[in-house]
Amino acid sequence: MFDVNFLEILRASFSLVILLACSVAVVAFTAERWFFFRKISAGTEAFIGAALDLLEQEKFEEALSLCRKTPGPLAAIIETAVDNRDRPKEHFEKLISAKRLELRLFLEKNLGILGTLGNTAPFIGLFGTVIGIIKAFQDLAHSGSAGPSVVAAGIAEALVATAGGLAVAIPAVISYNYFLRKVKNTVVAMETAQTRLTVSLKIL
C-alpha cells in the first residue's frame, strides 16, 4: 500500500493552490452575501406595515425618515415612491422600475463570482489530474522495472486534484442557487410593494 501525502501534493500541484484560493473566495463571498441578506430581511414585514400605515395617514415626512433609517431594497423603493408621489402615474412607474433594476444589480453583487467558481473549479481540478497522470507515466517510464506501484501512487495523487475541484464547486453552486433564489424573492417583494404604493399614494 502507498500513502498519499496531501501536504506534498499541495506543494507540488499548482492546480491545488489555485483551488485553495478559490475555496477561500467561495467562503468569503458566501459569508458576505449571507450577512447581507440577513441584514436586509430583518423586520421586513413590520417595516412594510409601518410604512404603509404612515402613507395612508399621509405622514410622508415620517415615512421618509423611517425608510432612511431602514436598510434594504424595500425601504429604497418606498423612499423613491414617496419622493415622486406627485408625478403622473406613467412617470412614477418608470422611476420605480428603474430603481428596481438598480437594486437588483446590488442584490446580485458577487453572485457572478460564485457561479463562475462553481463552473470552473471542476475543470481546474481535471486539468491538475491530467497533468498529474502525465507525470505519473513519465515517472513509470524513468523508473524502468519499479512496477505499477509507481504509477498507481502518482495517479492517486493526481486524482486529489479532481476531488479538490469538486469540493470547491459543490458549495459554490449550492450558495449561488440559494442566493439567486433570495434575489428572486426580493424582486417579487419589490414588485408587490410598487403595486401597493401606487394604491396607497393614490397615483393617477
What are 150-177's pLDDT values in tens digits? Answer: 666 667 777 888 888 999 999 999 999 9
pLDDT bracket for residue 117 (50, 70, 90): very high
What pLDDT is stored for residue 7 in this prediction? Answer: 56
Global pTM?
0.81
Here the contacts of 24-29 (C-beta below 8 Å, separation 24 or greater) are: 25/113, 25/117, 26/114, 26/117, 26/168, 26/171, 26/172, 26/175, 29/110, 29/113, 29/114, 29/175
Q: How many whole angstroms separate alpha carbon 126 and alpha carbon 129?
A: 5
Q: How many whole angstroms separate alpha carbon 16 and alpha carbon 165?
A: 8
* Helices 44-56 and 60-69, axial angle in degrees (round to 10): 160
Contact 79, 166 (CB under 8 A): no
Contact 157, 51 (CB under 8 A): no
**pLDDT by residue (tens digit) across 34-72?**
999 988 887 777 888 888 888 888 888 898 888 888 888
Here the contacts of 155-158 (C-beta below 8 Å, separation 24 or greater) are: 156/2, 156/4, 157/4, 157/9, 157/132, 158/128, 158/129, 158/130, 158/131, 158/132, 158/133
pLDDT bracket for residue 22 (50, 70, 90): very high
